[in-house]
Amino acid sequence: MASFRLERPDLFADGSVVKAYAAAGFHAGSPGAVAAQATVSGGVADLTGLVSGVEYVAVGGEHTVAFSPGAEEELPVLFGSGDLLGARAAVPPAAHVLDERDGTAAAPVHIGVSASFSRIDATTRAEVDEQISPGTDGPDGATVARFAIKGTAGSQVQVSAGVFSAWQTGEANGGAASPDACAVYGLAKVSNNALGVAIGNYYECWRLNAASKGQTASELRVRNDSGASDNYVVNGASKSVGVWLNASGTNSSGCGFQIGHGFAQTFDVGFGVNEGAVTGAAFRDDSNAERSIDIRGKHAAAAIRLSAEAGHIVWVNTTNVVLGQAEGTDNFFTGATVGDGFIATTALNKVVHVGPRAAGGERATLRVGENIGIGRGAADSFGGGKGGVAFIANAGTPPNANPVGGGVLYVEGGALKWRGSAGTVTEVAKA
């Protein structure tokens, strides 16, 4: 037989009774038979009649300590003897301080939580400001649990403050909605007369070394090993989604995704899609929003910029192309100057004006800043003329029917001709 001297006056007060149970199969609700017990005196409890090398759990009041007779130090606090989950190593390292296991594959548990941390808090602003920088909250203010890890100068691997894993293998009962697997569930609530912001989660990454590889506040990865690729779903959640935002409650929310400027620094790019990352559409709108894109800020370079390799702007339904009236004097599409339209070159040559004429009639409805060419039967040929020269190519098929309510002007064999509504063809100018 063996004995163990438990010296934890910080946990077990004098006069309290400490009971030892075999760690194998120990559960707080059903600890099993008492292997030994002792009354704490002078901060010490001598537990006798134990087996050397066997792990035990000492319980006294609200505290639990694991130990083994013959070990130089107390073992980690151990709860249960279930299967160890969430580790990638073939033989995962043992816990140093706390090891809680609840259920095995052969004997899984059912409803309820394995561990619960609850706190009703009334911390005042003055109490926090006394120990922390005034006006600062965070992990040392009012927190239920704090997880922290620091890699020393000799640390060569990733350090993780918390790892959460959820693995669902169960099926729905009776064909109902399939049970999900949620690794982290965060819920923040502000009620009554509280004026603070409800923050579901807050992530901050802090880089102090310019030579390091960088920082990422939140990395999301969607891994699909199902054997089939997923497509975008118009009305509902796609089968695989990187971020799924929904507004709920009884009132509309302000913004689905917002980039702030609360700390006097900026992002180089607000939304970026890496090369090769998307195969369909980088941005797609299937909503019934009043405006699909509403640009209101001041943009020195351009509101929308297309590079030479970007491709064309395509209207799928060409019968529904409407260029709306621009806001500006004389109701013209405005460029660098009121009345100037689409800017075509870096020299700011004004190409096209479109819009109703001004009240005095001094502006044209359509103006072309340089030469204009009509027809596609031949390349433009302006005869050396510049600035207001019009070229009309020979008609591929000269008009052979009478126009109604007007006439048609065309070129045939280099001669300018006119065909009226009565069918008379007049040569306006010779070739």
Residue 52 has pLDDT above 80, yes or no: yes
Is residue 177 one of the residues assigned to a domain?
no
Same domain, 26 and 74: yes
Question: pLDDT band at residue 231, thresholds of 50, 70 and 90?
Answer: very high
Same domain, 354 and 406: no
Same domain, 94 and 3: yes
How many CB atoms are located within 10 Å of the residue 307 CB?
A: 6
CA distance 369 to 388: 7
Residue 362 has pLDDT above 70, yes or no: no
Residue 363 has pLDDT above 70, yes or no: no
Residue 291 has pLDDT above 80, yes or no: yes
Is residue 19 one of the residues assigned to a domain?
yes
Q: What is the pLDDT of residue 365?
A: 61
Is residue 130 one of the residues assigned to a domain?
no
Could you say which of 78, 104, 130 is where a domain stops? Answer: 104
More confidently predicted of 253 and 335: 253
CA distance 42 to 15: 9
> Which range, of 168-182, 243-257, 403-417, averages the lowest pLDDT?
168-182
Is residue 232 one of the residues assigned to a domain?
no
Question: pLDDT band at residue 62, thresholds of 50, 70 and 90?
Answer: confident
Same domain, 337 and 431: no
327: containing domain? 323-369
Residues of the chain with pLDDT > 90, as a percent, come to: 37
Tokens of 315: 């209207």
Same domain, 392 and 431: yes
Tell me the per-residue pLDDT of 321-348, one tens digit each, with 9 for 90 and over: 554 444 444 444 444 444 444 434 334 4
Same domain, 10 and 92: yes
> 353 - beta bridge partners?
367
Same domain, 346 and 387: no
Residue 23 has pLDDT above 70, yes or no: yes
More confidently predicted of 75 and 108: 108
pTM comes to 0.61
Is residue 111 one of the residues assigned to a domain?
no
Q: What is the pLDDT of residue 239?
A: 92
Q: What is the pLDDT of residue 283?
A: 93
* Cα–Cα distances in angstroms (integers) from residue 183 to residues 101, 147, 179, 318, in the given order: 17, 16, 13, 48
Same domain, 46 and 87: yes
Same domain, 334 and 414: no
Residue 138 has pLDDT above 80, yes or no: no
Is residue 47 one of the residues assigned to a domain?
yes
Is residue 210 one of the residues assigned to a domain?
no
Torsion of CA 340, 341, 346, 347, to 10 degrees: -30
Across 74-88, 179-193, 307-321, 396-410, which has the greatest mean pLDDT?
396-410
Locus of tokens 């064999």: 413
More confidently predicted of 356 and 170: 170
Could you say which of 104, 137, 162 is where a domain stops? Answer: 104
**Mean pLDDT value across residues 19-27:** 83
Across 72-86, 303-317, 403-417, which has the greatest mean pLDDT?
403-417
Same domain, 13 and 65: yes
Could you say which of 42, 70, 104 is where a domain stops? Answer: 104
To the nearest whole number, what is the mean pLDDT of the chain?
82
Same domain, 100 and 9: yes
Q: How many domains does the chain have?
A: 3
Q: What is the pLDDT of residue 364?
A: 61
Same domain, 364 and 407: no
Residue 38 has pLDDT above 70, yes or no: yes
* Cα–Cα distances in angstroms (integers) from residue 368 to residues 165, 291, 326, 361, 386, in the given order: 65, 31, 18, 17, 12
Is residue 128 one of the residues assigned to a domain?
no
DSSP string, 315-347: -SSGGG---PPPSSGGGPPPSSSTT---B-STT
